[in-house]
Homo-oligomer: A and B are copies of this chain.
Amino acid sequence: MAVNRATLLDVARRAGVSRTTASFVVTGRRDMRISADAEQRVLRAVRELNYRPNLMARGLRTNFTNTVGLVSDTIASEAFAGEVIRGSVATALNHRHLLFIGETEGDTVVEKRVVQDMLDRGVDGFLYAAMYTREARLPAALRAQPVVMLNCLTKDRRTPAVLPDEFEAGRTAARTMLEAGHREGMWVVGEVLPVVYAATQRLAGITEVLSAERLTAAGRVDCLWWPESAYEAIGRLLVAGERPTGLICLNDRVAFGAYQAIAEAGLRIPQDISVVSFDDSDLASWLRPALTSIAIPHFELGRRAVEVLLTSPRPDGVRLIPMPLHRRASVGPPRWTR
């Protein structure tokens, strides 16, 4: 707004037509007879004056501003957030929408203000995003708005939601180990808190596949999902003389800590211990040997959430996005089969 821009009236004057005629040409309406000559003059004036419709003014008339508000609990300092935002922004742009972004840090007062600030600017709809997959309550101010939950879902599963298929990912992890020949010696590494959807779903998927083979995990290591905690816990396990054939690590950071403990014990991956993990962060490809990991499809989550939001009528219910397995070098046959 800082620079004077051509108005529709400027276009009409240059083209020698009425403002109404110019408006009909610019908005592509065909319910008024306009001569081909007048239409050409208007289109030429649009080009010459670099006329662009003012979306703010149009928003006041039509109640659509072609903007979407992304309300996120935390734009975490992780690669994850960046990819979700990339997917959302790129898809919105394809639909000629722009994305407002707001972070609440989980504070309901901030959240209320962010939502209201976006409503004040006439956003057409909302993405309500959690950076870690979880159940969430939709803020009251959003209940009457077009909204899609991104990486989270309401308890009743009724608000449209897009999230990764964590249960199937758990199944994939277990199958990957079974296919390599692992049977009795598999441990699951990382604590499973009931409120962490990714944790409970991944574990449920793992358990289901093992049960179908009449197997259970040899044990569980209840460390935090961070390298240091996993390093210490796996270190203790190995010092105690346990010899897992494989570790199913609940995320890549846990796997990173496991790698460090395994190296320190003088053991090799995958010859002595196989490792499979979840997230497929940058770390997975950087580790030596490179880590087999099941990806969170962040870009796709953002893309699909925007697609659902801008589809009319908006489809209800929960959409589960597949989590692709990236096979690398950390899974091999167990020692006893070699």
Contacts and interface: CB of A to CB of B under 8 A. Distances in A.
Interface of A: 1-3, 5, 52-57, 59-60, 63-67, 75-79, 81-83, 85-86, 89-90, 93, 96, 98-103, 110, 113-114, 116-125, 144-146, 227-228, 231, 253, 256-257, 260, 263, 282-283, 286, 288
Contacts of A123: 1
Contacts of A253: 286
A86 B77 contact: yes
Given A2-B63, A65-B1, A146-B2, A90 B77 contact: no
Nearest to A104: B93
Given A77-B282, A99-B101, 7 more contacts: A1-B123, A1-B124, A2-B145, A56-B65, A78-B82, A78-B282, A99-B100
Nearest to A69: B98
Nearest to A260: B288
Contacts of A257: 286
Contacts of A283: 283
Contact of A82 (B66, B76, B256): B76
A54 B227 CA distance: 49
A116 B282 CA distance: 34
Nearest to A113: B93
Contact of A103 (B90, B110, B263): B90
Given A1-B122, A144-B3, A89 B102 contact: yes
B65 A121 contact: yes
Contact of A81 (B82, B116, B118, B125): B82
20 contacts: A1-B59, A1-B65, A1-B119, A2-B144, A2-B146, A3-B144, A52-B116, A53-B120, A54-B60, A54-B120, A54-B122, A65-B121, A75-B85, A86-B103, A89-B101, A93-B103, A98-B100, A98-B121, A231-B288, A260-B288
Given A3-B144, A76-B82, A146-B2, A56 B122 contact: yes
Given A86-B103, A89-B102, A119 B56 contact: no
A206 B22 CA distance: 63
A90 B100 CA distance: 13
Contacts of A53: 120
Contacts of A110: 93
Contacts of A93: 102-103, 110, 113-114, 117
Nearest to A58: B120
Contacts of A282: 77-78
A117 B99 contact: no
Contact of A79 (B52, B78, B256): B78
A98 B103 contact: no
B75 A89 contact: yes
A81 B288 CA distance: 26
Contacts of A286: 227-228, 253, 256-257
Residue of A78, A119, A121 contacting most chain B CB atoms (<10 Å):
A121
A56 B120 CA distance: 7
A75 B89 CA distance: 10
